[in-house]
Amino acid sequence: MSLYVYVEPDDERRHRWTAEFQSIGGTMLKDMTELEAYLSRYPENMLVVIGAQVDLDEALMFTAYQRLQRPLIGVVLIRPTVEPDVVLRCLQSGIREIVAEDDEEELRAATVRSVDLSKALSTTLRGSAEQAPYARVVTVFAGKGGCGRSVVAVNLAVALAGGGRRVLLVDLDLQFGDVAMMMKLSPERSIAGGLAMAGRLDEAGLRSIVTAWRNGLDTLLAPASPAEGEQVRREFVVELLDVARPLYDFIVVDTPAVVTDQVLAALDMSDWYVPIVTPDLPTLKTVRLTSEMFDLLDYPRDKRLLVFNRSNTLVGLSHAEVELAVGMPFAVLAPSSRDVPVSVNQGEPIVMTDPLHPFSRAMRQLADRCTGVQTVIEEPRRGMFGLRKKKVS
């Protein structure tokens, strides 16, 4: 892993810079696709140098997106020449430094300035994050079994955990929870371990029952035996979430097919509601009923992020018809692919193992919506990071 990358499509120039860049612990990449894959694996990166041959619009779009997602990354852009109108557009998108291709001394100086700034920002950001995290709760649900709730909850949690955020994934499918299996975790610790602390759970108590995964992602697993799950009261769910909130940036909740009392407790505390719908009539009907129930409960409509799972397997219904049947617009379209069950069987979330996969892109878009970054809904493979390629003016 390195904290600095340089994307240089020009073979001759890339070879010439490799030794110097590697000597500061940097990594050379060939194009923006490699960069996308690289950053999803190493979100703590601080410097991205972009070579002169990379399309300007692509570089600007990348930077504008990263500015919100990963503000620590500084982008240094190399151009054949530095023109005033280009400088203006670069500043608007958040590029830190623009350097002319033949000015190698300036390139070195610009990268040093940018890294210094990232380090300073990192201290400030970490400081403020330590002062006041207060997790936003995201509950994934559907009125039917097998829609993909657990796959979405797991991959959403992994996607949210990028960029230094702390995330807790709670498996509230207390009878048949799948999170442990999908993340290859052994369920030695579970929610059941907290039952004896009900009514007086504190931070240390919570920490003693969570199972850490990777990348700042913790899980609170379902009990190994369904009988223990029955003992979890609604009040205990509220207590768990209350204690966890100051410790995490996001809490993602996976739920069973039926809206139990425990699920209602989580829904009541949610900032985002993520219903999953698949293209079959019974599921559409249950999601519509759930949506009507939400209206009665006064859960805000603009906080519902509808995931259309297996969206490419539409049988006789158009997207518009599905939206109409459900009574709300889609937030993301997640395609069906056999790579999804393969990842489930391997216990490796696909967002981690194949970040460029269309399903992974959909999950990152969903994460973006939860973090407040607005992306345009894509048909697959349109441009960098699933963003629609558009002119930045």
Ligand X SMILES: Nc1ncnc2c1ncn2[C@@H]1O[C@H](COP(=O)(O)OP(=O)(O)OP(=O)(O)O)[C@@H](O)[C@H]1O
What is the smallest separation between the CB atom of 148 and ligand X, expressed in angstroms? 3
Non-local CB neighbours of 79 within 8 Å, separated by 6+ positions: 52, 56, 86, 98, 99, 100, 101
Which of 120, 130, 126, 59 is CA-nearest to residue 90?
Answer: 59
Residue selected from 72, 334, 350, 384 as contacting ligand X according to rule CB under 6 A: 334
Query: Restricting to residues 350-379, which ones interact with ligand X according to CB under 6 A?
Result: 359
Residue selected from 18, 53, 175, 336 as contacting ligand X according to rule CB under 6 A: 336
What is the smallest separation between the CB atom of 58 and Mg ion, expressed in angstroms? 38
Strand order in the sheet with 272-277: 211-212, 217-220, 167-171, 250-254, 136-141, 272-277, 306-309, 330-334
What is the smallest separation between the CB atom of 279 and Mg ion, expressed in angstroms? 19
Of 282 and 341, the one with the shorter C-beta distance to ligand X is 341
260 lines the binding site for ligand X (CB under 6 A): no
- Stretch near ligand X under the rule CB under 6 A, chosen from 35-43, 48-56, 94-102, 148-156: 148-156
Which of 46, 43, 74, 48 is CA-nearest to residue 165?
Answer: 43
Of 146 and 226, the one with the shorter C-beta distance to ligand X is 146
Phi, psi (rounded to 5 degrees) for 354: -140, 75
Of 173 and 368, the one with the shorter C-beta distance to ligand X is 173
3-state per-residue secondary structure call for 309-344: ECHHHCCCCCHHHHHHHHCCCEEEEECCCCHHHHHH
What is the smallest separation between the CB atom of 349 and ligand X, expressed in angstroms? 11
Query: How many chain residues are in contact with ligand X, going by CB under 6 A?
Result: 20
252 lines the binding site for ligand X (CB under 6 A): no
148 lines the binding site for ligand X (CB under 6 A): yes
Q: List contacts with Mg ion (CB under 5 A).
A: 149-150, 178
125 burial via Cβ count (<10 Å: 0-12, 13-18, 19+): middle
347 lines the binding site for ligand X (CB under 6 A): no
Of 74 and 279, the one with the shorter C-beta distance to ligand X is 279
Tokens of 88: 């203006």
257 binds, among ligand X, Mg ion, none (CB under 5 to 8 A by kind): ligand X
What is the smallest separation between the CB atom of 145 and ligand X, expressed in angstroms? 3
CA angle 295, 297, 300 (to 5 degrees): 60
CA distance 363 to 346: 19
340 lines the binding site for ligand X (CB under 6 A): yes
Q: Which residue has the tokens 């610790």?
A: 189
User: Going by DSSP bridges, is the β-strand pair 217-220/211-212 parallel, antiparallel, or unpaired?
Assistant: antiparallel
310 binds, among Mg ion, ligand X, none (CB under 5 to 8 A by kind): ligand X
Residue selected from 341, 376, 380, 388 as contacting ligand X according to rule CB under 6 A: 341
Residues that bind ligand X (CB under 6 A): 142, 145-151, 173, 178, 257, 309-310, 334, 336-337, 340-341, 344, 359
